[in-house]
Amino acid sequence: MPAHDADEHDPTSGGPRAGHNAKLKLPTVVSDEPLRHEGAEWLKAAETQLIASQMLAVAGGGEPMSCQLIEDYDLVDYPELPEDHHDFYKRNTLRMELSRKNRLNEKKRTLLTLDAWDSLYGACRASTIKTAPMTFEALEKECDLSMRFAPPHLAAGHFDGPDDIDCVKGSLESLSSPLSTSGSGFGVYLLCEETTE
């Protein structure tokens, strides 16, 4: 199966990712301390919107669907040749180029994931800013990636979308520690670390 170059999936190009998460809108959270039935209704409505926006997996800490379109080159299919082989230098050059494309693919996956997480944050922020100020403040404080695990120069301006969803769900379900449920920020730390190699 042919691999796809990362250039086809540039998150700034208006390409495949442009339509799936840009329209995400979550229902308004009624208050910081909603009644049980109000919380249950919000969770059902939010899940419906996440499914419609193809963001349910992302909310659970997974990759956006656009990342599945990016396929790496398997260097096993291009084994190293002995130095006395007439295509030795040609093969080495090819392997280096494919390795470069794989690294670029990984960076693209990171950017696409951060982009999707930011969309989740924006939707959570909009759903709480007027009616649930305490939850809104918790989102800003706890989900800013530049304040947490990821290297600041990569995470600045990005937010942990799955943790945002956990935060809102936690306030609706009256969890004692809603902000510690996903641990997804560590996943972004690993992603960002890989882009620096």
Question: Reduced to 3 states, what is the DSSP secondary structure of residue 160?
Answer: coil
Domain ranges, ordered by start, for the chain: 6-15+27-195
Q: What would the two tokens of residue 186 be?
A: 């560590």
pLDDT of residue 149: 58
First-to-last C-alpha distance (Å) of the chain: 27
The span from the CA of 190 to the CA of 145, in Å, is 12
pLDDT digits (tens, 9 = 90+) for 136-187: 888 877 787 777 655 555 566 777 787 777 777 777 765 333 333 343 433 3
| CA 75 remoteness from chain centre | 27
Q: pTM of the full predicted structure?
A: 0.70
pLDDT digits (tens, 9 = 90+) for 88-138: 999 999 999 999 999 999 999 988 988 898 898 889 889 999 998 988 888
